[in-house]
Amino acid sequence: MIRTALDQIAIQVVDLHKYFDDAAVLRGVDFTVHRGEVVALLGDNGAGKSTLVNCIAGKLLPTRGEIQIMGSSHIINSPHKAQKLGISVVYQDLALIKEMTVVENLFLNREIKHRNQFLKRLGWLDKKAMRQRAKKLLRRLGSENIELEIPVSKLSGGQQQIVALVRSVISGADIIVMDEPTAALGNEQCNQVIELIRLLSTQGVTIILISHNLGQVTKLCDRAVVLCEGQTVADVAVKEVDQLALLALMSGVEPNRFSA
């Protein structure tokens, strides 16, 4: 039986705790994200967003609780493990190598190697195959205007963001966590990135978005998970709440008191 994409749970965080020495940064975080959903992770500074993302990315080990990927529980003890589970995090600095070309960046450390067995052993690259694959993928994602053979430093901020996203897709990520993807972008570039996020989600990629731009969140996301002082205080469908209510939740004020 074929199930619709949204039926499948991509990632489920259950009662996650993280202590640094005695300081509790995460004190019971619960949320579920379905496949193909775009979910915003909201919270004030210090709410625990970064710690949560680092736990998902395998950079930090949670003290208690579990993270389930596609229905089974995993201990994500290294970034490598996270990658293997199909999780990719696009940090604000994008982790692109500016001196290298777009196609070199897209395939860094997961290069396509030559078909010949001997050359493959040597690690000989199949540059043509990588170019073709990148071209095809960029066309599919509506970003064919990005030149493949120029250094990333020559691209605009939005294009760099798109390259970082496409790289996640090439790495086989099903779950992409993005940290403030549009914070440093102008309006038009912002829209390009948003378009790409929408497109990816229709293709079954799950996106968790950390953003302070509530306007964008309400426009782009299906749901918002709100953290406050290390706890999940709300998990709401974005259509059902307005920006003011979200703001109130983030700052720990009862929303009904706010809207009354």
Chain residues in the site for other proteins (CB under 8 A): 79-80, 83, 91, 93-100, 104, 108-111, 113, 122-125, 127
CA distance 208 to 211: 10
CA distance 168 to 83: 9
Nearest to 233 by CA among 92, 41, 19, 65: 41
Helix (H) or strand (E) holding 237: strand 231-237
| C-beta of 13 vs 89, nearer to other proteins | 89
Minimum distance from residue 118 beta carbon to other proteins (Å): 13
With beta carbons less than 8 A apart as the criterion, state whether 221 and 41 touch. Answer: no
Minimum distance from residue 110 beta carbon to other proteins (Å): 8
Minimum distance from residue 144 beta carbon to other proteins (Å): 24
| C-beta of 35 vs 114, nearer to other proteins | 114
Nearest to 243 by CA among 221, 177, 208: 221
Minimum distance from residue 81 beta carbon to other proteins (Å): 11
CA distance 52 to 223: 17
